Amino acid sequence: MKQRTNEEWLAELRGPERDRAIGDLRAVIVRGLKVTFGGRVRGLDETAEDLAQDALIRILDNLDSFRGESRFTTWAQRIAVRVAYTELRRRRWRDVSLQEVIERHEGGRQPDALGDRGSSPERETARKMMVETFQRFIAEELTERQREAMVAVMFEGMPLEEAARRMETNRNALYKLLHDARKKLKRRIEAEGLSAKEVLEALGEG
Amino acid sequence: MLNPEDFGKLARALGMTGDEELACDECFEQLERFVEMELDGLDAASAMPLVQDHLDKCGDCREEYQALLDALRAERGWTPVGVIWARMRRFFRRHQGG
């Protein structure tokens, strides 16, 4: 494949010779996606070629946003990886509702199983008190939306992007919402004279 | 009642929480420079600590970052063994206070 500078990539992708440049860029993207996803993407009907085609359209639509801060192909592959993961996550989670995830979490609670059998009664009491305190902070400090996001993303492992789609927001805004939730809880435990370090110590991880 | 696993996750997440954190879009914007530094053998985590901090906290972005890094390493002709060594070096650098 022809080696190109960033300027050459941009000029050729916009110029009369664009078909050749597009073909080369597609090859770069397919190779990159295959490293992570293999030829046929696990859990999807699509191949790396299919995903590359979707990515290519996005890249060509966004050429003006390339700021030249990296190699052009790095920038393009960054977009391709995001397009691929967005599709992959959407497919993997498509049959799962937010409500279902939250209910599953509620149903799976095991308060009595807290702690390990080998720990002392004092430590068990400390842990139990800590959990009850946290539970109260969560109820008092967080909004319903923050609690739902925390359960789905932090506790049940739903991708941020998928939780965001179900909550009719976007991934960036949901990250900020969760960051605000963490900050509120952290301030609250500090205001009560505790620290995250002490909490971890009570868990036996300090 | 939180279950033990949730409680641990939450406590660790609060321990890592900073007043200023990048959100996903800002991380995404800087990711191409971050991975190129990594590929050049530079300490991207020290040079761009907020990007590293976001990658430590956000599973979606971390997954994409790793895929991008692997794709670019393959593009530059790295072998799978080279990729594993690079990951190990990075791991040890980050866990030795570096």
Domain ranges of chain A: 6-92, 98-202
pLDDT at A39: 62
State the pLDDT confidence band at B98, using cuts at 50, 70 and 90: very low
State both tokens at A54: 């979707």
ipTM of this complex: 0.86
Q: What pLDDT, on the 0 to 100 scale, is given for residue A52?
A: 92
Say whether pTM exceeds 0.95.
Answer: no
Q: Which helix (H) or strand (E) holds A181?
A: helix A171-191
Amino acid letter, residue A90: R
Distance of residue A67 Cα from the nearest chain B Cα, in angstroms: 10
Interchain pair A154, B9: CB under 8 A: yes
- CB distance A199 to A127 below 8 Å: no
Q: Which two tokens stand for residue A111?
A: 């308060």
Say what the pLDDT of residue A144 is. Answer: 96
pLDDT tens-digit series, residues B6-49: 888 898 899 999 999 999 999 999 999 999 999 998 999 999 99
Smallest CA–CA separation between A78 and chain B, in Å? 6
- Asked whether residue B1 is domain-assigned, the answer is no
- Grade residue B1 by pLDDT with cuts at 50, 70 and 90: low
- What DSSP string runs through A113-153? G-S-TTS-HHHHHHHHHHHHHHHHHHHHHS-HHHHHHIIII
Report how many domains make up chain B: 1
Instruction: Give yes or no for A27 touching B (CB within 8 A).
Output: no
The answer to whether residue B12 is domain-embedded is no
Q: Which ranges of chain A have pLDDT less than 50? A: 114
Percent of the residues in chain B that have a pLDDT greater than 70, as a whole number? 89
Least confident of A146-155, B47-56, B74-83: B74-83
Residue B17 within any structural domain of the chain: no
**CATH node for A6-92:** 1.10.1740
Would the CB atoms of B72 and A172 count as touching at under 8 Å?
Answer: no
Structural domain of B54:
23-94
Do the domain assignments include residue B79? yes
Whether B18 is in a domain gets the answer: no
In a domain, B16, yes or no: no
Q: Is residue B15 part of a domain?
A: no
Pairwise CB contact (< 8 Å): A182 & B71: no
Q: How far is A128 from chain B (nearest CA, A)?
A: 10
B5, B9, B71 ranked by CB distance to A32: nearest: B71
Instruction: Look at residue A53 in the predicted model and tell me its pLDDT.
Output: 93
CB contact under 8 Å between A203 and B74, yes or no, is no
